Amino acid sequence: MFLNVISGISSIRTGWAHNMPLIRRLYRITALAVWLAVVTILSVPYRFRGWYGRKKISHILRLWARGVGRIINLRVKVHGDPCQVPGGLVVSNHLGYIDIVVHGSVFPLRFTSSTETDSWPVVGPIVALSNPVLVNRFSPARSKKAKRDYAKTIRRGMYLMVYPEGTSTDGKGGVLPFKSTCFEAVAQSDMPVIPVLIRYNEPEQRPTVCWYGDMTLVPHLWRILGYASIEADLFILPPVYSEGRSRKELASYVHDVMDAGYRSLIAAEKALYTGGKI
């Protein structure tokens, strides 16, 4: 009889463990929807208050990102000082949409966004919260306006987030070559570029948090919402100034600094896992 009871309890535990990812997903989807609604309401009074409103919304976005981090159990370890300069062009490698939450939880950001992003599920409304600088690659007039908005944002002491690789990667190699357009806002000026590097700690036998290539958004999001936790490291490098460099020269210089730093991180991780033998 006792063996049957124990067997029954074991079966319940097994069933609970099996269904835990589904329960976790349903809870998180509900909590994320409610939290997005709350933060959207908080941002409404600042929507039409010019630069004062944009700056306030950037801090509300950081509140949103930290709340999302709590909901999905995202643990971010920051290496470096995010407040080393009061505003600037924040430049990062790009590993997927979770980057938005990681970066947004550390910096009060205004994002840049392509017009296509507006139609994405989940990600579109989230990016829209930051009142982003919209980039339309097919409209020269709008592209020029976006460049002007870049400079205005940074001069107002805000942090403008850009991903100059132009796409996301699996994080296994170096940093892809940068598109130089976004650097025009700070080239030949005294405004800083803040290079940051992001890495995710990926447990063995678990599909990656990175979203890249031909991955479909919704199935990937559904999968990672079932993860017990996500761990990320954010490395904030010393600020870089133009010092007379042109847009392309500055983009190339910042890329080389970040690529060298990123490859050093990969080498250090390999040394850790192999006992110093790479």
Place of tokens 């890329």: 255
- Separation between Cα atoms, residue 46 and residue 56, nearest integer Å: 7
Which uninterrupted H or E stretch holds 153? helix 140-155
- Separation between Cα atoms, residue 1 and residue 161, nearest integer Å: 63
Q: Residue 275's pLDDT is what?
A: 60
Q: Residue 274's pLDDT is what?
A: 63
Q: How many residues does the chain have?
A: 278
Q: Are 174 and 259 in contact (CB under 8 A)?
A: yes
Q: Residue 5's pLDDT is what?
A: 35
- Separation between Cα atoms, residue 245 and residue 242, nearest integer Å: 5
Q: Residue 135's pLDDT is what?
A: 72
Q: Are 74 and 32 in contact (CB under 8 A)?
A: no
The alpha carbon of 72 is separated from its chain's Cα centroid by a whole number of angstroms, namely 14
Ranges of the chain with pLDDT below 70: 1-18, 114-124, 126, 136-143, 272-278
* pTM of the predicted model as reported, rounded to 2 decimal places: 0.87
Q: Residue 3's pLDDT is what?
A: 37
Burial (0-12, 13-18, 19+ Cβ within 10 Å), 23: exposed
CA atoms lying within 13 Å on the CB side of residue 66? 12
Q: Residue 80's pLDDT is what?
A: 95
- Separation between Cα atoms, residue 181 and residue 267, nearest integer Å: 31
Q: Residue 4's pLDDT is what?
A: 47
